[in-house]
Amino acid sequence: MGSDESTGDVHVDDPTGDGPSEPLCRLTNERREAVAALAAHSRRREMATGTGLIQRHAARLLVSRNSRAWSRAWSRARRAGTTTTSATMSRDPGPRRARVAVVGGGAAGLAAARELRAEGHTPVVFERGNDAGGVWVYDPRVEVDDVTGTDPNRARVHGSMYASLRTNLPRECMGYESFPFTKTFAGDDRRFCGHGEVRAYLAAYADHHDIAKDVRLRREVLSAEPIVDDWRAEDDAKAASNHQSEKDSGDETWGPRWRVTTRSTGDDDDDDDDANVSVETFDAVVVCNGHYSEPRTPSYANAKRWPGLQMHSHNYRTPDATFKGKKVVVLGAMASGEDLTREIATVASDVVLAARGFVPGAPKNDFPVASYPKNATLKPGIVELIPERSGVRFEDGSVEEDVDVILYATGYQYAFPFLSDAVSDGYLSAVDNCVSPLYKHVFPPALAPSLSFIGLPWKVVPFPQFETQARWIAKALSGAAPLPPRREMLDDADAFERSLASNGIARRHAHRMGDAQFAYNDELRELCGQPPAGTWRAEMYAATGARKRSQPASYRDGPIPWSDEAARADARAEADAAGFGTDPARDEVEVKAA
């Protein structure tokens, strides 16, 4: 089925390219030549086998290579449950304190600030917008220069939320563990609330944990460059040592310090660009820039000549005149495509929802066909645009003519322009929505723990996972949960990527988790010395998924035909235990049961 994310290996064209172009690290000439030679070798191997990963091998230059067999055995043992990890587990803060630059003040950046503070670090959160909250800060503006979101020179808008958006999870399930979302913060008492309610919740979270002081608003990170000279000499010496002495050194996994360049984005700031730019040094960088802002729009041969309007869901806000009485094709049938098809159908004459691989007449991803509006039809993916007839040809050969609008609800791509050129220097790549190599979706082995990412996994419950990842990062930086040696992390990342290939999982789905998220979260919790999370969240997640599949149009409202009251009770008990539910100083109101 086209909407089943686990199937189908057709790759979307990526017209904006795969990102950075400035070197992330300055390499010595000798090392640069070696990287180039290895990259060329890997490219040849890639061409021969279709499986080589240039970046992985280039990055491997940065670590010693004498313990792969041991590492494989370690991984096997860990999978078999005969060992937990080579890292030390601790609930207590470790001895090291770091000044940490956090890129982005959305839900992930706020969680980073909270967990870094809790571990004794000093976070500085750079947020280029006027307020913290990321995509939950509804922005009515769209990217008017190019609504397909493909022109690299367009003026960017971060927000992708549309006006009517409501959560697709019950709020209890969505909330952070350290600040339960069991009450109402902006008067919207629906369990599946609107975006304004989530924004108010995030503001309350920041307030509760006293995070605002750590956030610098209207400050964009232009670049984050590792300061490599001292670090490299130290790292080379360690890479040359044997495994045991490296482990014993206690400091083997500290990465470089970082030079972070930021500029003010405030309207009333000095017009002089140089005056608005500042450079600071940090011990570490945590990347929390989100990945639902840079459209992933397919490019069709005739797209430029096609006479109708083509736009990406990133630039959709309301079912306005653009759609009124029009024939609209929506491509992509995940959350955005599903929701927008139903909303646009309230004003359009016809809506065609096209999902890759969809077979007409069959239920779509378990969604009952009868659940779609009467003026909506389902089609497989688009193979061609036909400018002469304002037409669209689908995978089954059928053609829809006189189409007015194509709305690409085809998702987003990861982009880290400020980390520039991690690709060519082999530390990191971000191609086809796979950030690689990464240890447990968080640390690039060559630079860990001083560079880390929060929030790369998708098809997850984001906020509690952000918290867990942030806690792990904070503890890795402090030394309370030291990371394994770099080569071990790299082998782990390597094994993960091989498992994608051997299980037929497309690289663009590398960070897709689904049900696996709960075991992953528990694994990170264990590394932080925490017990596994309660099961109520997973139960609520599963119950919501089942309800969405059976009632895609109405799963957020109405009488609930399944009961998650036990899970809801657990969520509230957890909130009460945290002292939140009973805090008389707070005036939040009760949430409706359904």
Ligand X SMILES: Cc1cc2nc3c(=O)[nH]c(=O)nc-3n(C[C@H](O)[C@H](O)[C@H](O)COP(=O)(O)OP(=O)(O)OC[C@H]3O[C@@H](n4cnc5c(N)ncnc54)[C@H](O)[C@@H]3O)c2cc1C
Ligand Y SMILES: NC(=O)c1ccc[n+]([C@@H]2O[C@H](COP(=O)([O-])OP(=O)(O)OC[C@H]3O[C@@H](n4cnc5c(N)ncnc54)[C@H](OP(=O)(O)O)[C@@H]3O)[C@@H](O)[C@H]2O)c1
Instruction: Give Cα 460 distance to the centre of its chain.
Output: 10
Count of residues touching ligand X (by CB under 6 A): 31
Binding to ligand X (CB under 6 A) within 396-425 occurs at 418
- Give the footprint of ligand X on residues 468-507 (CB under 6 A): none
- Does 143 sit near ligand X (CB under 6 A)? no
> Which option in ligand X, ligand Y, none does residue 96 bind, with CB closer than 5 to 8 A by kind?
none
Nearer to ligand Y by Cβ, of 12 and 476: the residue is 12
Q: Which does 331 bind (CB under 5 to 8 A by kind): ligand Y, ligand X, none?
A: ligand Y
Question: Which of residues 133 and 411 has its CB atom nearest to ligand Y in the complex?
Answer: 411
Q: If contact means CB under 5 to 8 A according to the sort of partner, which of ligand Y, ligand X, none does residue 135 touch?
A: ligand X
- Cβ distance to ligand Y smaller for residue 409 or 430: 409
- Find the binding residues for ligand X in span 514-553 (CB under 6 A): none
Which residues have a Cβ under 8 Å from the Cβ of 355 and sit 6 or more positions away?
1, 2, 3, 332, 333, 337, 364, 365, 378, 379, 380, 381
For 508-540, the DSSP string reads: GGTTB-TTHHHHHHHHHHHHTT-PPPPSHHHHH
State which residue, 285 or 329, has the beta carbon closest to ligand X.
285
Helix (H, G, I), strand (E, B) or coil at 327: strand
Q: Which of 101, 102, 108, 351 binds ligand X (CB under 6 A)?
A: 108
We find the least distance from the C-beta atom of residue 496 to ligand X, in angstroms, to be: 21
CA distance 264 to 217: 9
CB 480 within 8 A of CB 93: yes
Binding partner of 319, given ligand X, ligand Y, none, CB within 5-8 angstroms per partner class: none
Residues that bind ligand Y (CB under 6 A): 3, 5, 8, 12, 165, 167-168, 292, 298, 313, 331-332, 334-337, 339, 356, 381, 409-411, 458, 508
Choose which of 114, 117, 121, 128 interacts with ligand X (CB under 6 A). 128
Report residue 290 CA to chain centroid gap: 6
SS3 (DSSP) at 386: strand
Q: Which of 300, 326, 218, 219 is nearest to 262 (CA)?
A: 219
The closest of 533, 545, 544 to 570, measured between CA atoms, is 533
Q: How far, CA to CA in Å, does 581 sit from each of 566, 569, 578?
A: 17, 12, 8
Any contact of residue 289 with ligand X (CB under 6 A)?
Answer: yes
**Smallest distance, Å, CB 149 to ligand Y?**
12
- Among residues 413, 432, 433, 425, the alpha carbon closest in space to that of 451 is found at 425
Q: Which does 106 bind (CB under 5 to 8 A by kind): ligand X, ligand Y, none?
A: ligand X
Pick from 24, 27, 101, 161 the residue near ligand X by CB under 6 A.
161
Q: How far, CA to CA in Å, does 175 sit from each of 104, 107, 514, 558, 591?
A: 19, 10, 17, 22, 13
The alpha-helical segments, DSSP class H, found in 328-411 are: 335-344
Binding residues for ligand X (CB under 6 A): 103-109, 126-129, 134-136, 158, 160-161, 165, 167-169, 174, 220-221, 288-290, 292, 418, 455, 462
